[in-house]
Structure 1
Amino acid sequence: MKSISYRLLFISLLAISCQNQTTESSVSLFDGETFNGWEGDTLNTWRIEDGVIIGGNLNEMVPHNDFLCTTTTYDNFHLKLKIKLTGSEGFVNSGIQFRSERLKEPAHEMTGYQADWGENYWAGLYDESRRNVTLIAPDSTEVLTWIKPNDWNDYEIKAEGKRIRLYINGHQSVDYTEKDDSIPQSGLIGLQIHGGAKAEAAFKDVFITRL
């Protein structure tokens, strides 16, 4: 009887393990070499250098907001990536769009949620080209103790149903629940470089887990 019980326990544990691997498996969204799975202005604005996606230019003013976005839509997910923002002139800002879509006019813009990144906007949740407001932001003093300006930072977005949580370098910066039923809860993921600055936004180690 003990032998049968152990076998049943082993089978149960194996089934749970397989289920967790299926539901919690992380997938890379960037192969480190190509823009496969992404679309955007890869001729002028976006490039790949040493396994890093870079948008913008430190020597020339970025003319307008620009986004490199996925060709696949996502609803419930846990996104992890590293971000680095550098610049010395103008409005130096970046962010990660999610549950978003491209606008038809202007075509380089996106609308939807944005995990913001930049001075006075560090790790806040912004509603890009829609409500055009910061929906929620961390304490402006505390967040400065979490971030590493001009260096790589670990950024996480967890979107489950109408609940959105943002994390920067292991610290939760945002916990927001959408109350407006008209706001789409599925869409594209996009990487942003903000216009009006001599700046570069760099991204690497981009992984997503569907929830």
Structure 2
Amino acid sequence: MKLNQLTSLVAFLGLAVCAVAEDKPAANDGWVSMFNGQDLSGWKSNEETPGSFSVENGTIKVSNGRSHLFYVGPNGDAKFTNFEFKGKVKHMPGSNSGLYIATEYQDKGWPEKGYECQVNSTSHKDPKKTGGLYAVKDVLDTAPVGDDEWFDYSIKVEGKHITISINGQVTTDWTEPEGWDPATALKNMPGRKLSPGTMAIQAHDPKSVVYYKDLYIRPL
């Protein structure tokens, strides 16, 4: 191998290592991996629709019908108040899902506690799209990302302030008002309120297929 070829190879490998490092935050920065890429350890599905969550090629595949996959952590009692979350998401055409925050495990139905950070492609009939805080501060009609492409999904909760970013761009910036009464403000969603809780991934309907990977959380 010629010297210039060897130099180019070393430079390429250096860039590849940097890229991997960027995708996997350092533990000493407080980031905790939520998904090992091999199985659903640390997660608990309510199995409302059996088989809605599986591991495929290092990703969590969401399909088959309504169910929710709750993050319980290594000790089964994961709970967060102030935190940052980041992960990679890909929704296929006509697909709907969501990431719940400040929630808790329940056997069936849409989670009654916490907020849903929407994951929903432009081609799905629901007008509330990816990057919105469902029914509270929505992104309407057009998703900020296309179908069948990986994108970065970030959530930050600090005090009563919720920020959602897609590919580094803020799509939702909302603060829960003092005296917030979701039973009055949202009618059918009385549990939409910040409190210590965990996260959950939503399987929405039989036609929706969504993938998640590189999931990390950092308490603040």
TM-score w.r.t. the length of structure 1 is 0.72
1:176-197 Cα offsets, whole Å, 9 max, x none, are 10114563422120011212x4
Higher relative contact order (CA 8 A, sep 6+): 1
- The aligned residue for residue 33 of structure 2 is 28
One-letter amino acid of the counterpart of residue 29, structure 1: M
1:181/1:203 CA distance change after superposition, 3 Å: same
Q: Distance in 2 between matches of 1:33 and 1:117?
A: 23
1:1-211 mapped onto 2 (5 Å cutoff): 24-40=29-45, 41=47, 44-57=51-64, 62=65, 65-71=66-72, 72-88=78-94, 92-103=95-106, 107-111=108-112, 112-118=114-120, 119=122, 120=127, 121-126=129-134, 134-138=135-139, 140=140, 144=143, 146-179=144-177, 180=179, 183-195=193-205, 197-211=206-220
Task: Identify unmatched segments of 5+ residues in structure 1.
Answer: 1-20, 127-133
Quote how far apart the aligned CAs of 1:35 are.
Answer: 1.2
User: Displaced runs of 4+ in structure 1, greater than 3 A?
Assistant: 21-24
Shift of the 137–181 alpha-carbon distance from structure 1 to 2, 3 Å rule, reads: closer
Distance between the aligned counterparts of 1:125 and 1:78, measured in 2? 16
Shift of 1:122: 2.1
Deviates more, 1:45-54 or 1:33-42: 33-42
Given that 2:70 and 2:198 are in contact with CA atoms closer than 8 Å, whether structure 1 keeps it comes out as: yes
Contact 2:93/2:147 (8 A) holds in 1 = no
Structure 2 counterpart of 1:154, one-letter code = D
Cα distance in 2, alignment partners of residues 173 and 181 from structure 1: 22
RMSD: 2.3
Identity of aligned residues (%): 29
1:96-123 deviation per Cα after TM superposition (whole angstroms, max 9, x unaligned): 001012335xx25312201101133221
Q: Could you say if the C-alpha distance between residues 162 and 34 of structure 1 is closer, same or farther in structure 2, counting changes exceeding 3 Å?
A: same
- Greater Rg over alpha carbons, structure: 1
Alpha-carbon displacement from aligned partner over 1:30-49 (angstroms, at most 9, x marks no partner): 01112111000395111001
Q: Aligned letter for 2:59?
A: V
| CA distance 1:177–1:38, change in 2 (3 Å) | same
Q: Which moved more, 1:169-178 or 1:39-48?
A: 39-48
2:156 and 2:28 mapped to 1: Cα distance? 15
* Deviations 1:147-186, CA, capped at 9 Å, x for gaps: 1322111100000010000000111001110114563422
Q: Distance in 1 between matches of 2:199 and 2:91?
A: 18
Unpaired runs of at least 5, structure 2: 1-25, 73-77, 182-192
Q: What SS is found at the alignment partner of 2:92?
A: strand
Task: Return the alpha-carbon distance in structure 2 between the equivalents of residues 184 and 160 of structure 1.
Answer: 10
Checking the alignment, whether the CA contact within 8 Å between 1:83 and 1:204 is kept in structure 2 is yes
Q: Indicate conservation of the 8 Å contact 2:97/2:119, yes or no.
A: yes
Quote the Cα distance in structure 2 between the aligned partners of 1:97 and 1:206: 14
Distance in 2, Cα, partners of 1:172 & 1:109:
26
* CA distance in structure 2 between the aligned counterparts of 1:136 and 1:23, rounded to whole angstroms: 34
